[in-house]
Structure 1
Amino acid sequence: MVDEALRRRAVDTVWSLYRAKHRDVDAADSRRCLLQRHLQGRWEARVSEVEELTGFGLAYLNRLPKDEC
C-alpha cells in the first residue's frame, strides 16, 4: 500500500534524524514505537505529506521526557 509506505518513510526519516542528534539512543529504543503510534494518529487525522509528518514526529520526540520509556 502506497500510503503505508509513505508513513513508514516518515517514521524512518524522523528516527534517523533523531538518532543522529541523540547518539546515545539505541536503534531499538522504545521511543520509536511511541513515534510510530503518534504518526499513525496524525496519518489518520489526514496529515499525509511525508515532510509534514516528519516535522510532527521530530517535535513529538523532542517533547518526550528522557525517562519516558
Structure 2
Amino acid sequence: MVDEVLRKAVDTAWTVYLATHRDVADGRRCLLERHLRGKLEASQSETEELTCSGLAYLDRLPRDE
C-alpha cells in the first residue's frame, strides 16, 4: 500500500510538472521520488498531499539541474 501511494504521487507530480516544464532533465524524477519517500516515512500518507508536496519541491529546485 505504501509503495502504491508513493508511486501514484510521484507519477502524478512528475506528469503535471512535465506538462508545464518541458525542458527539464530526468534526474529530477529521482530527486522527487527521494523527497516524497522521506515525506511518506514522516507520515504524509495521502497521495494528494504527497503530490502537492512533490510539485512544490520540484518548483524549488534550481532550473539547471
Counting aligned pairs with the same residue, the percent is: 60
Q: Distance in 1 between matches of 2:53 and 2:5?
A: 14
Select the residue among 28, 35, 39 that pairs with 2:36: 39
Instruction: Give the total of aligned pairs.
Output: 65
What TM-score, normalized by structure 2, do the two folds share?
0.94
Runs of 4+ in 1 over 6 A off after TM superposition: none
Q: Distance in 1 between matches of 2:56 and 2:62?
A: 12
Residue segments in structure 1 that go unaligned for 5+ positions in a row? none
Q: Distance in 2 between matches of 1:31 and 1:24?
A: 11
Q: Distance in 2 between matches of 1:49 and 1:5?
A: 11
Residue segments in structure 2 that go unaligned for 5+ positions in a row? none
More helix by share: 2
What TM-score, normalized by structure 1, do the two folds share?
0.89
| Residue 11 (structure 2) aligns with | 12
